[in-house]
């Protein structure tokens, strides 16, 4: 493919945007064939500025859980925009959304709303410190909890003091958590953890239920706050919270991404014990009370609750996983598919530097399947059996290309 329009946009962007683009959507970091710019999206299809259409397995990097431009969500937003969005005070839909979150999320007695996943993780840590009067926060080595100095994976511009009260454990290794907790002593404020290990540049790792239960017990015993960073998984795996199937409930959860099918929103939910602390911290933003994204969230969560959307996502993910496994085998490749089927990742066995995997995702991209070599993908409720089968026809060509 020669993406003339994309090439032109990239050239223009290099003059006016540092590095041409920044953050997780910088395509140059993970693909030689995928375009940097996108013109539109509809359901599970996205189209670039040169008119090439892709079956989308990133879903806007997670937010688009129902499909691009889902009619119910779009209508809710349009109706709210007819009334107003950024007013002097909240709109009634804020109360409606908070009530819906409390009713939907198993551990939630209250909700606060924000804009970025990082807002929600940062507020969670701050609430935990305010509640406990302690400082130390434990997180897993390699985990992603946002992109500000206390947690960003790149340390340019970060000072040592930004992370003075963080300590680290290994995911699924309870002994390492206990050791970190011992180091924190009576200054342990919180443990923050993702629902499963979905760090970039490695296979995903499902959570050992014993690990989750052990974290819960440790927090109960020490009076520390258990924070589940459900930003990436939330509202895609289990509507009540991603650890609900294991029966382990956090004290605080951070949410964003899929909460409003692509509209900018984040949330913290918490238990009654943390309500006072949540009301004592001061965190806010110019657009945190804006109504349109809240209307989108009410529509999205309602659709997820009242339809079989989550089952369809799991079904599509399983169909994709089964198909890719069969295809790889047929072409003589050993692949490792990891993580929940709703958030899959495929890596070629032994391909520790992702060279072969990236060749494959590039070949898939060139055939109109948008997947990532080392960050988990996302399925959505708009992926039908027919979409998956069409995607598999194309990935078959990608596998075949690797054998040539």
Let me know: does 225 contact 252? Beta carbons within 8 Å. yes
Q: In this structure, are strands 136-140 and 110-114 parallel, antiparallel, or unpaired? A: unpaired
Let me know: does 346 contact 324? Beta carbons within 8 Å. yes
| 268-287: contacts with a second copy (CB under 8 A) | 270, 275-287
User: For the CA atoms of the chain, what is the radius of gyration?
Assistant: 21
The CB-of-365 to a second copy minimum distance in angstroms stands at 10
Helix (H) or strand (E) holding 48: strand 45-48
Nearer to a second copy by Cβ, of 40 and 389: the residue is: 40
The CB-of-393 to a second copy minimum distance in angstroms stands at 21
At 333, give phi and psi (nearest 5°).
Answer: -105, 145
Question: Which of residues 55, 76, 105, 125 is near a second copy by CB under 8 A?
Answer: 125
The CB-of-333 to a second copy minimum distance in angstroms stands at 25
DSSP state of 253: E
22 binds a second copy, rule: CB under 8 A? yes
379 binds a second copy, rule: CB under 8 A? no
The tokens describing 69, both together, are 């431009």
Let me know: does 341 contact 314? Beta carbons within 8 Å. yes
Nearer to a second copy by Cβ, of 228 and 248: the residue is: 228
Question: Which of residues 3, 35, 345, 346 is near a second copy by CB under 8 A?
Answer: 35
The CB-of-221 to a second copy minimum distance in angstroms stands at 22
| 306-365: contacts with a second copy (CB under 8 A) | none
| 105-124: contacts with a second copy (CB under 8 A) | 109-112, 115-119, 122
| 359-378: contacts with a second copy (CB under 8 A) | 370
| 203-262: contacts with a second copy (CB under 8 A) | 231, 256-257, 262
For residue 235, which of 276, 265, 201 has the smallest C-alpha distance?
A: 265
For residue 177, which of 136, 129, 118 has the smallest C-alpha distance?
A: 136
Nearer to a second copy by Cβ, of 119 and 396: the residue is: 119
The CB-of-114 to a second copy minimum distance in angstroms stands at 8
Q: Choose the binding region for a second copy from 152-160, 244-252, 315-323, 387-395 (rule: CB under 8 A).
A: 152-160
# residues near a second copy by CB under 8 A: 116
Query: Within 91-139, where are the H helices?
Result: 92-104, 117-132
CA dist 236 and 275 (Å) reads 26
Question: Which of residues 41, 195, 214, 344 is near a second copy by CB under 8 A?
Answer: 41
101 binds a second copy, rule: CB under 8 A? yes
In the sheet that holds 225-229, the strands lie side by side as 110-114, 266-270, 252-255, 225-229, 188-193, 136-140, 166-169
The CB-of-170 to a second copy minimum distance in angstroms stands at 23
The CB-of-215 to a second copy minimum distance in angstroms stands at 21
């Amino acid at each position: 493919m020669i993406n003339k329009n994309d090439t032109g946009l990239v050239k223009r962007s290099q003059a006016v945007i540092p590095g041409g683009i920044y953050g997780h959507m910088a395509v140059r970091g993970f693909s030689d064939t995928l375009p940097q710019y996108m013109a539109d999206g509809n359901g599970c299809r996205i189209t670039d500025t040169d008119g090439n259409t892709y079956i989308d397995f990133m879903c806007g990097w997670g937010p688009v859980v129902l499909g691009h431009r889902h009619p119910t969500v779009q209508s809710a937003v349009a109706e709210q925009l007819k009334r107003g969005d950024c007013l002097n005070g909240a709109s009634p839909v804020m109360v409606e959304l908070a009530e819906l979150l409390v009713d939907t999320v198993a551990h939630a007695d209250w909700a606060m709303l924000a804009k970025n996943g990082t807002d929600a993780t940062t507020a969670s840590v701050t609430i935990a410190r305010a509640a406990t009067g302690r400082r130390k926060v434990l997180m897993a080595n390699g985990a992603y909890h946002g992109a500000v100095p206390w947690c960003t994976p790149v340390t340019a511009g970060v000072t040592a003091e930004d992370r003075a009260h963080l300590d680290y454990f290994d995911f699924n290794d309870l002994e390492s958590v206990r050791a970190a907790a011992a180091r924190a002593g009576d200054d342990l404020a919180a443990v923050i953890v993702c629902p499963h290990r979905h760090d970039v540049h490695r296979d995903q790792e499902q959570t050992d239920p014993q690990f989750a239960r052990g974290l819960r017990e440790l927090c109960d015993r020490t009076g520390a706050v258990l924070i589940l960073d459900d930003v990436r998984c939330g509202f895609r795996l289990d509507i009540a919270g991603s650890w609900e199937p294991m029966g382990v409930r956090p004290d605080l959860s951070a949410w964003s991404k899929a909460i409003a099918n692509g509209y900018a929103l984040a949330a913290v939910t918490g238990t009654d014990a943390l309500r006072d602390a949540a009301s004592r911290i001061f965190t806010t933003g110019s657009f945190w009370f804006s109504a349109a994204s809240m209307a989108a969230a009410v529509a999205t969560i309602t659709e997820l609750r009242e339809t079989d959307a989550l089952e369809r996502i799991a079904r599509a993910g399983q169909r994709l996983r089964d198909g890719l496994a069969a295809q790889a085998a047929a072409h003589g490749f050993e692949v490792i598919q990891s993580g929940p089927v709703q958030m899959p990742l495929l890596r070629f066995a032994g391909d520790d530097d992702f060279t072969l995997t990236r060749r494959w995702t590039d070949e898939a991209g060139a055939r109109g399947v948008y997947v990532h070599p080392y960050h988990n993908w996302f399925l959505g409720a708009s992926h039908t059996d027919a979409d998956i089968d069409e995607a598999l026809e194309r990935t078959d060509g990608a596998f075949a290309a690797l054998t040539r």
